[in-house]
Amino acid sequence: MFAQLIKEILAQAPQSQEVKICGWVRTRREMKNLVFVEVNDGSCLAGIQCTFDRGTAAFPAETDAALAALSTGAAVAIEGHLIASPASGQAVEVAAQSLRIIGEAPAENRDAQPAYLATPAYPLQKKRHSLEFLREIAHLRPRTNTFGAVARVRNRMAFAIHQYFQQQNFQYINTPIITAGDAEGAGAMFQVTTLDVEDLAKSGARQIDHAKDFFGKKTFLTVSGQLEAETYAAALSRVYTFGPTFRAENSNTARHLAEFWMVEPEIAFAGLENDMALAEDFLKFIFKTALVDCAEDLAFFDAHIEKGIIETLTRVVNAQFAHITYTDAIGELEKAAGKSIVFEFKPQWGCDLQSEHEKYLTEKVAGGPVIVTDYPKDIKAFYMKQNDDGKTVRAMDVLVPRLGEIIGGSQREENLEKLCRRMLEMGMKLEDYAWYLDTRRYGTIPHAGFGLGFERLIQYITGMANIRDVIPYPRAVGQADF
Ligand code: 4AD
Ligand code: MG
């Protein structure tokens, strides 16, 4: 069997039962004959204190030697008895009998030979490290409180997403990662090829023959699983995807990644109202789950990362999301700009909402989450249902304070003729989307869906300011380390 996890041990009543702890040493303190070793195994935020009493008769010599060699970062196995802790701040501790160092974290030794054995000092010494520094050691940062907590919240929220949709009879579908089409029509795609580009450059080729490429055509990493999800919603009624998506946008911001995970439900026989109700109910379920099941980690984020995060989430769970049309939103922003508010980007009808605008709308106009609907068609994707005004589409973005857009969705244009006309207007080749258009040709239905950026969700729940700190190994412009 495995050693028990610290999370499992901390849930037990202390009755001097034998326990075995495996984990990594966070701290080591000495007081006369007593040695206190704090061990963490990542199963929960809390570590467990293991107390060694070297003064007891027949204290094992191996343990004594191991204690002398023990340093922060070492992997250890400790056996002892679980007892009520006399110290404050912890209910239980381990009266430890034996200690085995499984993997040491040796002191700095830069001159070791051969050179590949050279070891700088363990970078995670007991002090506050900056998030920027930790980004440079992204392979070690999960051993810190902050990144352990982020990983656990991420894990629980991924499960909550499946729980929510499964309870509502949505079918989980896996959409392709390599695709020939641009689902958002925005052109920010990474090309996938097995052609040897260096060879091509050397041979002086002026044109690329994509027929010779792996798939016999030009292919990319997907920006969204939506189009494929739509075809499955047009057969299974309620579906969702949850997978990686890729965008080669040159946005070097705290809320953009080049590789991120997206959750995309798609519902048949449904319009924008259903879509918005689903988005609100879904987010509330997720936040409620976080508050209950990630309470320890959220308390940590509240205390050390972003004050008030628990209160904010609680308020959102109990609030009703505000609704405003894009046109009214612009009206509010223009009004604000006409008074004393200074925006870097002047708000005017037709412009994309900038994060400063989103911030104003959530924090000042709505005082909480707000769903903005009916955007100008020219700033939204080709597939959105066209309104009768000829100018706007049935889009909806869910904006939340501090972060801005967390969800983007829409009702889809189900009318074949209108959809084709719009695609042609936008310069798209209909033959590339023949399979997609078939859903409108045979048994077409009103349908809607949305996309939730998983990392934006985790940012919102944890209060982490930079999106690069809520995914294990971030990919962004100029950054593909690890
Ligand atoms: O608004 P977006 O671009 O919508 C779509 O992709 C639709 N196909 C979704 C749908 O209707 N099925 O992206 C959806 C969400 C955004 O609201 C945001 O949370 C997140 O995905 N997102 C990003 N997250 C991190 N980095 C990026 N570069 C992101 N771009 C979008
Ligand atoms: Mg969007």
| 143-187 pLDDT tens trace | 999 999 999 999 999 999 999 999 999 999 999 999 998 888 777
Return d(Cα 449, Cα 440) in angstroms, integer. Answer: 16
- Of 221, 238, 257, 262, the one to substitute when testing ligand 1's pocket (max ligand atoms within 8 A of C-beta) is 262
Q: How many residues does the chain have?
A: 482
| 367-417 pLDDT tens trace | 999 999 999 999 999 999 999 999 999 999 999 999 999 999 999 999 999
Q: What is the DSSP string of 199-216?
A: HHHHTT-SS--GGGSTTS
Q: Per-residue pLDDT for 1 more than 70?
A: no
Tell which residue, 465, 418, 410, 166, has the closest CA to residue 275.
410
Give me ligand 1 centre to Cα 427, in Å.
22
Closest ligand to C-alpha of residue 256 is: 1
Residue 247 Cα: closest atom of ligand 1: 28
Closest ligand to C-alpha of residue 379 is: 2
**Do 302 and 476 touch, CB atoms closer than 8 A?**
no
Q: What is the enclosing helix (H) or strand (E) of 273?
A: helix 272-293
450 residue type, one letter: F
What's the token pair of residue 449? 């869906």
Residue 397 Cα: closest atom of ligand 1: 17
Q: Is the CB of 234 under 6 A from ligand 1?
A: no
| 194-216 pLDDT tens trace | 999 888 888 887 888 899 999 99
All CATH 3.30.930.10 domain ranges of the chain, comma separated, are 143-188+223-469
Return d(Cα 378, Cα 393) in angstroms, integer. Answer: 9
Give this prediction's pTM.
0.96
CATH fold for domain 143-188+223-469: BirA Bifunctional Protein; domain 2 (3.30.930)
DSSP code for 430: G
Range with the largest mean pLDDT of 60-69, 282-291, 335-344: 282-291
Dihedral, 462, 171, 369, 45 alpha carbons, nearest 10: -10
Q: Is the CB of 474 under 6 A from ligand 1?
A: no
Q: What is the DSSP string of 337-384?
A: HHTT---SSPP-TTSPPPHHHHHHIIIIIISS-EEEEEEEGGGS-TTB
All CATH 2.40.50.140 domain ranges of the chain, comma separated, are 6-103
| 211-226 pLDDT tens trace | 999 999 999 999 999 9
What's the token pair of residue 318? 């109990």
Q: Per-residue pLDDT for 2 more than 80?
A: no
**Do 372 and 325 touch, CB atoms closer than 8 A?**
yes
Domain 6-103, CATH homologous superfamily name and number: Nucleic acid-binding proteins (2.40.50.140)
The pairs formed by 436-440 with CB atoms below 8 angstroms and a separation of 24 or more are 436/181, 436/227, 436/230, 436/231, 439/230, 439/231, 439/234, 440/413, 440/414, 440/415, 440/416
- Of 454, 456, 460, 466, the one to substitute when testing ligand 1's pocket (max ligand atoms within 8 A of C-beta) is 456
